[in-house]
Amino acid sequence: MADPTEPLTYGRYLHLDELLAAQAPLSRPEAHDELLFIIQHQTSELWLKLALHELTGACDDLARDDLALALKRLARVKHVQKQLIEQWSVLATLTPSEYQRFRGFLGTSSGFQSYQYRAVEFLLGAKDPAMLELHADDAAARALLTAALERPSLYDEFLRLLARRGHPVPDDVAHRDVRAAHREDPRLVEVFRTIYDAPERHWDVYETCEELVDIEDNLQLWRFRHLKTVERTIGFRTGTGGTTGASFLRRVLDLSFFPELYAVRTAL
């Protein structure tokens, strides 16, 4: 406590004065629905901060072979994802007419610039060093993304754990350049087929495989809800910040973080 003579209250502990003063609508005259738009995105960033915290912890756990604790953290990530998915239902109450009353005041800002979301993608394995250039003028954002880019992803750490346990993960996969995005490797499908053929013998890693699939499914649901909310609000118009809007969001639905965990289902 900065001043031990003052009692610690709920508001002081949570810094509510600062938190509740952080919503500053820009529209003039002020549009009633802009507050919803701001709170939606601010709360999303708070949940993303927690997701990053848990995913980073899970990566560390896997690196020291503490699979049980990693699974606990991943279970929490899944609950965070559910919160993020359900939030779209609130924003979807924003009609096109209501949005147009303040959209012009958003300038070049865009959700595409969310560095925390990008860091989550990096930790899951979808790495792209070019994304750092979007934050060239933001030292804190660049530092966060650089750290996520340069460390092994959650999938990298899981594959390394499998290799340490004797599963035939190819050496060039276990020790790949972690700054690059993971690419599907058919050799890993065979590794996972052995696990899925005998789940009772490999239960904890089998369970981890399914946790990773759950996380990817949840992220795809989040992307889909994002797409449908954008479509119902602005249709197929250009997004804020010059993005292509719904057409871009539709394309990213095809991106996969753990492709071999889906491919193995066909191979069984």
**Which residues contribute to the annotated binding site?**
37-41, 99, 103, 226, 240
CA–CA gap between residue 126 and residue 242 (Å, rounded): 23
User: Residue-wise over 233-262: b if at least 16 C-beta within 10 A, else e?
Assistant: bbeeeebbeebebbeebbeeeeebbbbbbb
Distances (CA, A) of 97 to 41, 88, 219, 235, 258: 20, 18, 29, 12, 40
Distance CA 37, CA 30 (A): 13
The H or E element containing residue 83 is helix 67-91
What angle, 0 to 180 degrees and rounded to 10, lies between the N-to-C axes of helices 203-234 and 259-267?
110
8 A C-beta contact, residue 128 and residue 148? no
Cα torsion angle, 4, 6, 12, 13, sign: positive
Q: Which two tokens stand for residue 14?
A: 């949570």
CA distance 110 to 242: 8
Q: How far is C-alpha 172 from the geometric centre of its chain's CA atoms?
A: 27
Q: SS3 for 147?
A: helix
Residue positions forming the annotated binding site for heme: 226
d(CA 225, CA 217): 12
Binding residues for substrate: 37-41, 99, 103, 240
